[in-house]
Structure 1
Amino acid sequence: MKKKWYPAVLSVLLAGTMLAGCGTSGSNDAQGSANGQTAKEKIKLTMWGAVPAEAGPQAVIDNWNKDHPDIQVEYIRNVNDDAGNLKLDTALMTNQNIDLFMNYDLAHLQKRMDAGVALDLSTKTDYDIDSQIGEDAAMWKINDKYYGIPTKKNMAFVWLNKDMLDAAGLPIPAVDWTWSDLEEYAKKLTKPGVYGLLQADSSFSTTMDGTLAGMGVKQADGTSNFGNDLWKEHLEILHNMMFVDKSTPEYGEQLTSKMPVDTMFLQGKAAMLAAGEFIFRNANNLKDYPHDFKTAFAAIPKVNKDQKDYKYSGGVGDMLALNAKSKNLDAAWEFAKWYADGGMLPMASGGRIPASKSVDSKEAMSLLMKGVEDKYDTDSMNKIVFGKFPSFQLNVTQQAIDARKEEYEKYFLNKQDIETTMKNMQTRSQELLK
């Protein structure tokens, strides 16, 4: 079942639809006027993405615009959350002026492909995505086709305040640590004014996704795997940390206060933070986020020691797609190739390491670490941030992901027990997976 667009929302937003198209230079040079010819049209492209413009995208755009006076690009930010994705989807469906747009998970790309707004790149023979980006790119294929170029190396991990770990006598965790291990670490690291663990909103499901990717979305008989015991164990550990150990915030408090978890970690108000590479843009900004401690890194833990085929959130991401309805597809394609093959380098300082083989990884790492070399534990960074792990892109419909979140939120808000939660996730996903 495909998710329907919301007519009421679209009808309201249609009134504000921007006119698509490109502007002209508006003037002729002397030779052109003499020959009765108009000056060459200047193409204007619009790119939407979730990263703040000042954290790299604007520098990327400025570099392109400087070297391509006839093709000028404008960057528009839309936050990668439910509201931001709805804003982007609405703009795409109402034919607003979008030529390129970023996708941060396969489910949203699938929805946009189904809606006919993500361009099928199978006709583009001048750029070999598999060769340029590597084998992980194939995780983004839909029906064996690409609907964008994956542009960066994906990374999700646990940020560790190494000074706090050292004070508590705790070593940097082994790669294969578990949620029970993390729970014990969090209890030992929690103290007045300091949580043992904080999580970015997107990280609440990271272990669940890695577990599902390993076992498969469906069981051998075709029934959903959303009611599996590993998810149950993981959710129960988190619930216990919230309401018994008090080592991580209660979900309702984090939700209603819009808790700035990355800022709190950098302020020393948490010993561990489950997040991704996007935190680097703040962690490396010592002017606005001053901190003295050294950061180390650990893998996102699996559920327990007996778990098999667990996969790690990683691979490649930031899928840059072309709007199939753009009037400037050739120009947009030239920009997309340039962006992937090195144009995006100014974003490396914020943790977005280019995936293309055309980019020198040492140069990208140098940009990431420039001026903050003493703020990181290099051994754990090399092992975890730049390590190689079995990774995945979860191939599940957005409706099933949304249904799962609705159910575990009820459990974390104490509106239903764990048995009801697991039963509902199983039942709802089974219906959707049909």
Structure 2
Amino acid sequence: MKKKIVSALLCVAILSTMLVGCGGSGGKSSKADGDKPYSGEKLTVLYMSGVYAEAAESMVDEFEEKTGATVEVVDFPYTTLHEKTLLDLTSGTGSYDVIDVASQWDGEFAPYLTDLSDFMDKDNYKTDEFIEKVLENSGEWQGVQTGIPNASTPQLFAYRTDLLPNGLPDTWKEYREVAKELTDKDKGMYGISVSATTGQLGGVFDYILWSMGGAWADEDWNVTIDSQETRDALNHLKEIQDYADPSILSWGTEESIKAFLDGNAAICETWPTLGLVQAADDESQSKVAGKWALSTIPYDKTGTTLLSAWDVSIPAASKNQELAWEWVKMYTSAEKQNQFYDDFGILSPRKAFWERDGIKGTYMDTVREALDTANIWWRIPASTEVDSMLNTVVSQYMTGEIDLETAVSKMKKGIEEALKNAPPEEGTKNYNM
């Protein structure tokens, strides 16, 4: 856990003197106290460890100077962030004034979050500046704006342009054929690198399933996972093990990207903005400089890829909601979004960002294109249980612990149990298919 607290004692001292001189009774400062209306107040913000927390840290000094408040940035890794956040929300403790929410948690967290509409109306904060597909999947739940999108990354593939001059094929069948042709195990060269460790493998299964036309359930939550598309997706994953490094089942994003940068894989299935695009043209870090490009995943039947999206929210239990809103506004502002990309590689959900010089007309056009079709898994409370189950079952199948039919059966049972344990709110439709 990282913490950063910068004191505002000078501001407090000045304010105290003013209050005594005016016969004030002390306590929290008035919002009309001048340039620093929040002197003496403390804001605690929670982010996922890594670039999102680092971006928050980078903003602290400026925010404190502007408001007079002090800020503590707390972060946890993704693997524990959900549990830590949910515990605080459900207990009503109010330990955090701002939280960065993975959009698949929106529905689960919504009852414990503040409706931001009044704040947005007061400051004329416009959401039409955001990409529609991202806004649809992040921050809004059942017609209530509980968060403001702050990051959006679609699942894309990087590939070697010298080995694949015509780009990636349009179907998974052709994709496997190309990967097979480019694999030379004796030379340590493989067609594919992929993040296939448990915890990430479920997402890989999802984008293959969706692009093949499959789904977890229909719009009325009738489970549809027992399908030919599910079997085809699992068979695909099983086969590509032959065209990837034998260690892929223990690989996360870092290892997958490194294999590509080292010239040991023709295609990299990963989140490319989490290190690949920053290093790929740096010859000190990459053997593929000038010989790579980004592509959307094989279209197959739908072209639907996976979306990673985050939105900044204010817990209902926060005692500093006005100050929290000031943080949300600054963190999601166009200025900060541009800065966060320049300094940390965070992709903005704002439309104007993609029109910037150096963005438009580059490989980033492919990233922007993917955001219009990217999808997130369910955003209802059952989502976390289903995602965890799918990760486990797909991993068991990949390692040979269970066979195909057992895997499909366990998936079906797991989804049905998750929906039983946490039924969707009445009237909620499943549009994430």
- TM-score range normalised by the length of the shorter chain: 0.7 to 0.9
| Structure 1 residues 348-379: Cα deviation after superposition (integer angstroms, max 9, x where no partner) | 1343232235x45343x63x69xxxxxxxx66
Deviation at 1:411, TM superposition (A): 0.3
Query: Match of 1:8?
Result: none
Give the match for residue 181 of structure 1.
174
Q: CA deviation at 1:421?
A: 0.3
Matches within 5 A, 1:11-410: 25-28=11-14, 32=18, 34-35=21-22, 41-50=39-48, 52-53=50-51, 57=55, 60-62=58-60, 64-65=62-63, 67-80=65-78, 82-93=79-90, 95=93, 97-106=95-104, 108-114=105-111, 116=112, 118-124=113-119, 125-126=121-122, 127-128=124-125, 130-136=127-133, 137-140=135-138, 141-163=140-162, 165=163, 170-174=165-169, 177-191=170-184, 192-201=187-196, 202=200, 204-206=202-204, 208-209=206-207, 211-212=209-210, 217-219=216-218, 223-242=222-241, 245-250=242-247, 252-254=249-251, 260-276=255-271, 277-280=273-276, 282-283=278-279, 286=282, 289-294=285-290, 295-302=292-299, 305=300, 307=301, 309-314=302-307, 317-342=309-334, 343-349=336-342, 350-357=344-351, 359-363=352-356, 366=358, 381-387=363-369, 389-395=372-378, 397-410=383-396
Structure 2 counterpart of 1:179, one-letter code:
W
**Shift in CA distance, 29/221, structure 1 to aligned 2, threshold 3 Å:** closer
- Percent of paired sites with the same residue: 17
Deviations 1:215-236 (A, max 9, x none): 5543488630122211211211
Q: Which stretch of the first structure deviates more once superposed, 87-96 or 229-238?
A: 87-96
Equivalent residue letter for 2:399: L
State TM-score, norm by structure 2. 0.75
Return the letter of the residue paired with 1:155: P
Structure 1 residue 178, shift from structure 2 partner: 2.2
Secondary structure of 1:391's match? coil
Distance in 1 (alpha carbons) for counterparts of 2:147 and 2:84: 20
Match of 1:4 in 2: none
8 Å CA contact retained: 2:192, 2:269 = yes
Work out whether residues 345 and 354 of structure 1, in 8 Å CA contact, stay in contact via their aligned partners in 2.
yes
Decide whether aligned partners of structure 1 residues 332 and 55 sit closer, same or farther in structure 2, where only a CA change above 3 A counts. Answer: closer
Q: Is the 8 A contact 1:61 1:75 kept in 2?
A: no
CA displacement, residues 179-209 of structure 1 (integer Å, 9 cap, x when unaligned): 2222222223333333321223536524525
Output one character per residue of 1:3-52: Cα deviation in whole Å (capped at 9) or x when no partner.
xxxxxxxxxxxxx9x9x9x9865523696264455686333323222352
Native 8 Å contact 1:102 1:318 kept in 2 = yes
How far residue 412 of structure 1 moved from its aligned partner, in angstroms, is 1.0
- The answer to whether the Cα contact below 8 Å between 2:257 and 2:276 also exists between their aligned partners in 1 is no
Consecutive unaligned residues in structure 2, runs of 5 or more: 30-37, 421-433
8 Å Cα contact 1:121-1:146 kept in structure 2: yes
TM-fit CA distance, 1:407 = 1.3
CA–CA distance in structure 2, aligned partners of residues 240 and 267 of structure 1: 23
User: Residues of 2 paired with 1:145 and 1:220: CA distance?
Assistant: 20
Q: Distance in 1 between matches of 2:210 and 2:389?
A: 15
Question: Structure 1 residues 60 and 362, CA, compared in 2 at 3 Å: closer, same or farther?
Answer: farther
Taking the aligned partners of 1:92 and 1:152, their CA distance within structure 2 comes to: 22
Residue type of the partner of 1:330?
E
Would you say the 8 A contact 2:44–2:74 is kept in 1?
Answer: yes
| Contact residue 202 and residue 394 of structure 2 kept, 8 A | no
Q: Could you tell me whether the CA contact under 8 Å between 2:192 and 2:240 is conserved in 1?
A: no
In structure 2, do the counterparts of structure 1 residues 384 and 92 end up closer, same or farther at CA, with 3 Å as the change threshold?
same
Number of the residue aligned with 2:408: 422
Deviations 1:64-92 (A, max 9, x none): 33651413434333222x23433443455
CA contact (8 A) 1:60 1:344 kept: no
Q: 1:253 to 1:341 in 2, by over 3 A?
A: closer
In structure 2, what residue type is equivalent to 1:418? Answer: L
* Structure 1 unaligned residues grouped into runs of 5+: 1-15, 370-377
CA drift at 1:281: 6.9
In structure 2, C-alpha distance between the alignment counterparts of 1:146 and 1:84, rounded to whole Å: 22
Q: Distance in 1 between matches of 2:391 and 2:16?
A: 63
Letter in 1 for 2:255: P
After superposition, the CA RMSD in angstroms is 3.7
Structure 1 SS opposite 2:226: coil
**Cα pair distance change 1:344/1:86, threshold 3 Å:** same
Q: What is the rounded CA distance, in whole Å, between the counterparts of 1:312 and 1:55 in structure 2? A: 26
Match of 1:374 in 2: none
Count of aligned positions:
385
How far did 1:310 drift? 4.4
- Counterpart CA distance in 2 for 1:333 and 1:55 is 18
* Residue identity in the other structure for 2:176: E
Aligned to 2:424: none
The alignment partner of 1:278 has SS state of: coil
**Quick check: 1:407–1:424 contact (8 Å CA) kept in 2?**
yes
Amino acid across the alignment from 1:120: D
Deviation at 1:133, TM superposition (A): 1.7
Offset, 1:55:
8.7
Shift of 1:298: 1.4
